[in-house]
Amino acid sequence: MEALRMLTERVSAPQLTGPGITPQEQNILLRSALRAPDHAWLRPSRYLLIEGENRRALGEIFLQATPDWQSLSAEKQQKVLNMPLRAPLLIVAVSCIQEHPKVPRDEQLLSTGAGVQNILNAAWALGLGAIWRTGDMATNPQVIEALGLAPQDVIVGFVYIGHINCTLKQPPELPLDDFVTRWKAKSS
């Protein structure tokens, strides 16, 4: 089945280029994200789409949020400014945590993470490349505020999406026995 092959062969694409992602493709990516498991139907996930010149504005936000950025070399400042330019589309995945007696914070974060995984899989199915990044900017209060998020909101990741512009590394197949144990109840 094509879906199973896709799930077992998907890899991250670290180098992405244009053209941009069409509105139809964006719609598929986001509809896929919203199919993630969500206990109690809390819908904690939000997705900010950043493309075009807005990526440059995000780069400025990143630079201003970098501690002691004025003391960085011009080359390092440019590297920070260019971070959002690594792909034609960035999707900032955010978990808006809600107090709930049966759905803890971690479960809400995992729901948003599952949404990100669905975006990555949908991008791969569309023939696009994607990579999920976090880093210091994901937890930086200045970035969170500049993006219009509440202080308790959590950036789960910056998902870079575009057309693959590199040779993809195929990681070795991992032996299941290194990661899977068939649990058995202790006999009495």
Q: Which residues are annotated as a binding site for FMN?
A: 10-12, 35, 39, 132-134
Contact at 8 Å (CB) between 39 and 102? yes
Q: Are 111 and 37 in contact (CB under 8 A)?
A: yes
Annotated binding-site positions: 10-12, 35, 39, 132-134
Residue identified by tokens 């498991």 is 37
**C-alpha dihedral sign at 48, 18, 134, 145:** negative
DSSP strand pairing (16-17 vs 45-51): unpaired
- C-alpha span between 110 and 156 (Å, rounded): 9
